[in-house]
Copies of this chain bind each other. A is one copy, B any other.
Amino acid sequence: MLPYEKYPSQILQDAVEAISSLPGVGSRSALRLALHLLRQPSENIHHFASAIDRLADDVRYCRTCRMIADTEECAICADTSRDHSTICVVESVRDVMSIEATGQYRGVYHVLGGIISPISGVGPSDLSIKELVERVRGLAGSGEVILALSGDVEGETTSFYIYRQIEGLGVKVSTLARGLGFGDDLEYADSLTLGRSIIGRQPFKM
């Protein structure tokens, strides 16, 4: 009989189990990472652990747009040079980062914190939709709401739900352009995307 089931140390085992709870990290990778950490100087390990630990209580969410922030108001909402009458509605923090990375957007955001999904038990009241409607009401009939949600059924459902909530408030409501990706080959495009590209064709510009 082996002297231990799997790990020679309970502490190592706890660390491996914690690491392998992360999505996409199996127990072999987790062991490799735990043993890597174990080889680091003590202060590096403490530093690593405390960087993670602070995620638990110290991260705040912007009171206006629900974006991650270190302060009460995120850097985007605090930026007076941005267009505060254009609100881009996204599912998550990551989407804000992706759109910011394009450098093409000068408005502000609203992070829903999820998407309406009856299967996962997420309803409209679990998302920051009420807060969004309040913000849109605050625009007093001018401005624009961009529904930048994913193109799947849940994304479309959420977009539709939000549209219904704000359609009477006088703001322009738009959605992201769908079509072939930049540099995409017609031959390999799926027919749904290609179809949308044809329907949404644009005037040719040189």
Residues of A within 8 A of B (CB): 2-4, 7-12, 14-15, 17-19, 21-25, 29, 31-38, 42-43, 45-60, 67-70, 74-76, 78-79, 82, 92-94, 96-97, 100, 103
Query: What distance in Å separates the Cβ of A54 from its nearest Cβ neighbour in chain B?
Result: 5
Q: Contacts A52-B52, A59-B9, A59-B11; is A75 near B4 (CB within 8 Å)?
A: yes
Q: Are A3 and B76 in contact (CB under 8 A)?
A: yes
Please report whether the interface of chain A is mostly helix, strand, loop or mixed according to DSSP. Answer: helix
- Bound-state CA distance A17–B23 (Å) is 18
- Bound-state CA distance A11–B35 (Å) is 25
Query: What distance in Å separates the Cβ of A76 from its nearest Cβ neighbour in chain B?
Result: 5
Query: What distance in Å separates the Cβ of A46 from its nearest Cβ neighbour in chain B?
Result: 5
Q: Are B58 and A53 in contact (CB under 8 A)?
A: no
The residues of B that contact A18 with a CB separation of less than 8 Å are 47-48, 51-52
The residues of B that contact A15 with a CB separation of less than 8 Å are 51-52, 54-55
The contact of A36 among B22, B76, B96, by CB within 8 Å, is: B22
- Bound-state CA distance A7–B7 (Å) is 37
The residues of B that contact A29 with a CB separation of less than 8 Å are 24
12 contacts between A and B (CB under 8 A): A2-B100, A3-B78, A10-B70, A18-B48, A19-B52, A22-B37, A24-B29, A25-B33, A37-B52, A37-B55, A42-B56, A45-B52
The residues of B that contact A37 with a CB separation of less than 8 Å are 22, 52, 55
Nearest-CB residue, chain B, relative to A67: B8
Q: Are A51 and B14 in contact (CB under 8 A)?
A: yes
Query: What distance in Å separates the Cβ of A175 from its nearest Cβ neighbour in chain B?
Result: 24
The residues of B that contact A11 with a CB separation of less than 8 Å are 54-55, 58-59, 70
The contact of A49 among B32, B53, B60, B74, by CB within 8 Å, is: B53
- Bound-state CA distance A58–B45 (Å) is 12
Q: Which 8 A-B pairs have the closest CB atoms?
A: A49-B53, A45-B56, A3-B75, A18-B51, A49-B52, A42-B56, A14-B51, A49-B49
